[in-house]
Each structure stands twice: as C-alpha cells, then as structure tokens.
Structure 1
Amino acid sequence: MSPHATGCQREPTDHRRKMAITPEYKELVAEAEAVVEAYSPEEAVELTDEDGVHFVDVREIYELAAGMVRGGIHAPMGRLETHLDPNSPHYKDKFDNAAELVFYCATGSRSALAARRAQQLGLERVAHLEGGFSAWVVTGGPTQVFDAPERT
C-alpha cells in the first residue's frame, strides 16, 4: 500500500547525498588498530620475499584495476570469513602455508578491520598495511595486474 493511500507521507529522500563515514565506523577502526599489528609500507616491502608471508587484498574487485601487491591474494571483505575457513567451499588454499597474513585495502581502514576479524577467527599471525595500497604504490612496493579468474 502506498503512503498516500493511508494519508501518511514519507520525508523525501535525497539520493544524491553521499553517505558519510560515521563515528561508529571510525571507532571500530580505532579499536581494531589498537590490537592489530601494523606495518608501515617500508616495513611491508621488506616482507614481500619472506616465505609464508601472504598479502591479502580485501578491496572489492572493481578496485583492483589499479593493481595489487605482487603475489597478493584477493579475498574481499564481504567474503573474508569464507575464504579463511578451511571448511568452506570458498577457502583459498594459498592460506595453507601462511606463516603470517598482511591485510591491505585502499587506505588502511578496511584492512585493520579484516585483520581484527581474522584474529577473532583464531588466526594469530596477522597484521595490516598502514595507508593501504595507495601508500604501497607511493613507497614503490612491487605490484602486479589483477588476473581475474575466468567465469565458467
């Protein structure tokens, strides 16, 4: 039933307005950053050739056109738990030999949340990249083009 049929009217919605980041989101990020180890881009670059260190890209697929950390594993935030759980059909077997997971996103906020979530799932050696992929690029960290999987 339309609001007009009942005599009620809704406030008009301005669909052009951008949703602002709320203090609650910032608070969640701050809480995650307080308990998750963070690597500066310079420190993280030193880890790129370390055995067992995997960089996990939690950005959405449309963000990967800018490239990704060389050797990175794409596991977007919306499916993170399914990619980390060995009992899930979406588990990424590249995590089998992981000694440490370094999460990153575009600017560092989502990666802090992802690393915290991984801790909550029982993973111990997790960290995130301060400043995200944008800071990685500025630092001159090695990158690669995202190789999208073929759809069948």
Structure 2
Amino acid sequence: MSVAFRRESDEEHLEPKFELPIPLGPNLVTARGLELLETKVAELEAALPALTDEVERKAHQRDLRYWRTRLATAELKEARADGVVGFGCRVDLVVNGKPRTIELIGHDEADPAVGKLAFTAPLCRAVMGAEVGDVLDFGGKVGAVELVGIGVAENLR
C-alpha cells in the first residue's frame, strides 16, 4: 500500500482544541460579578479530581484556565453616581420609540435577554457619558436613543 493512503492514528484527523477567547480590554466587574467568578472557579476546581475521562478532563481544564484568568484579571469597579452613564449604571432608555432598561456590567455577568449588557456592547458604548435628556444617534439612525433615567445597577445596590 502506498504511504499516501496510510495514516498513523485517528488522532491526526481530530479537530484542534483551542483555548476559550478572552474578551479584549479591561476585565471590569461588579461586586456580584466578582462573586460569580470566584464561585465558578471553586466549582470547577472541586469537580476536577472526579473526572476520569481524558477528553472530558482536558475540556474541563481548559474551562478552568479561562475562569482562573478572568478571576486573576478582574478589576472591581464601583458604579458612577454623578448622573452620567458609566459602568455599573442602570439606564432607562427609549430606543426607536420603545422603552428599554439596560445595565452596564462586566462581560462574564452579562445576560442580554434580561437587559444586562457588557459595558463594551454597542448600545452601552453609545450611551456611555450621556445624561438624562440626551438624545443620541445609534445604529445609523439620528436620534434613535433618548435617555430618560439613570440609576445604579441591581448588582451594585
């Protein structure tokens, strides 16, 4: 048989496993976000000794490396309390004529389905530094966002 049709093992044809991507920029977290990171690392560390399957163990170790890195780089940040939108704020908006409330929080605690957005999300970047009454352009539309209220995010109260 020709060498061209022979393979040494099944391992050479498996997809490579990559590290989980770390979001760029600072790792700002609320107090709740820091607690979530600590809990996640503790859970993963506790489960590791019981894993015997090599593939499952490697995937678990990859996850643990990600969460340890996120915990090690976490920067606890207090909410702005000066009436200007910033990290840790809850913001009441009217977006394209529809009311919406968002919280500007860290990446690992974000849940867009309930309005908890990472501070680097496009809508968060658009309202950062704004004040109540400001009308802002967003998504290519002039005056698409109006700020109607600013408070402290639920995570920081």
TM-score, L = length of structure 2: 0.26
User: In terms of Rg, which structure is larger?
Assistant: 2
Higher relative contact order (CA 8 A, sep 6+): 1
TM-score, L = length of structure 1: 0.27
